[in-house]
Amino acid sequence: MIRGRCWKLGDNISTDHIISGKYKFSAIDNLEAMLPHVLEEVIPEFYKKVAKGDVIVGGKNFGKGSSREHAPRLLKLLGISAVIAKSFAHIFYRNAINIGLPVIVAQTIPEVSETEDIIEIDLANAVVRNVTKGIEEKFKPFPKELMMILESGGIVEYIKKYGVPPWVRSTE
């Protein structure tokens, strides 16, 4: 069960909104040096305001733009426990899963939620709740393989624990 405070964002939040490209090489080997710049143009000093377990709720096309995997990594490093949005850019969605950051597609919760609301996510039963508003929404459950990756904390941890996934084909 995930439970956290909501940070409401709008439509078309790009990877550049999450972490501007101007920082991509200056701290490439030190992600923690990038943390003060996460969402800085959307929510000034976000890194000082966010708390471990908080949840981002976005609109349509969350994570659009470049394939910069720093974007979901930095959100997770700041303590974001999940991102809920009406839709995601495919590459952001997959990068988030690969690092163990749950990304939930929902339609009602993004409409009714506001910053500071309390959000609960039950991944096992595919339910998201806005506790503050008393609204619950079912979402499409993750396939077993993706749940295993999320439960492991990402694909690297999955491989350390279980080895190469059986659904990965050998090139030999």
Contact 122, 112 (CB under 8 A): no
Q: What is the mean pLDDT of the chain?
A: 91
* Domain boundary assignment for the chain: 2-141, 142-172
Question: For residue range 92-134, what is the model confidence (pLDDT) as tens digits?
Answer: 999 999 999 999 999 999 999 999 999 999 999 999 999 999 9
φ, ψ dihedrals at 26, nearest 5°: -65, -30
Average pLDDT score over residue span 152-161: 93
Confidence of residue 49 (pLDDT cuts 50, 70, 90): very high
pLDDT tens across 141-155, in order? 999 999 999 999 999
CA-to-CA separations, 94 to 17, 32, 67, 111, in angstroms, rounded? 18, 22, 10, 24
Global pTM? 0.92
The CATH architecture of the domain made up of 2-141 is Alpha-Beta Barrel (3.20)
Note the residue count of the chain. 172
Give Cα 14 to chain centroid, integer Å. 13
Grouping H, G, I as helix, E, B as strand and the rest as coil, residue 95 is: helix
The phi and psi torsions of 56 (rounded to 5 degrees) equal -95, 135
